[in-house]
Amino acid sequence: MIKDYAANYDTMTDAQAQDYIKRANAVDEQLLALRMKYVPLFEKVISPKKTAVCYQIDRRIDLLINLQLSTVISDGRHQQVS
């Protein structure tokens, strides 16, 4: 999905942009559902406070991954223009 977005950015139609947004939001919703599925499982083994720490670490790792992906998208778009 990300490579497709970067490759087609300059020629993307409004319909394609809307589809990308829907697909990206679906991925975000799936990730949130997965995180929420594991919260009660973690809390059975570790305290809610430690579960919250694990949750925050997972979110920060996700943010770092998204930052790296945005760099790849940006670099890919710049390489295509050159």
Q: What is the DSSP string of 32-53?
A: HHHHHHHHHHHHHHS-HHHHHH
Question: Which of 15-24, 37-46, 52-61, 68-77 has the least mean pLDDT?
Answer: 68-77
CA distance 65 to 51: 21
Structural domain total, the chain: 1
| pLDDT higher at 68 or 75 | 68
Q: What is the pLDDT of residue 76?
A: 53
Name the residue range of residue 17's domain. Answer: 2-81
List, for residues 43-57, the tens digit of each pLDDT value. Answer: 999 999 999 999 999
Per-residue pLDDT at 81 exceeds 60: no
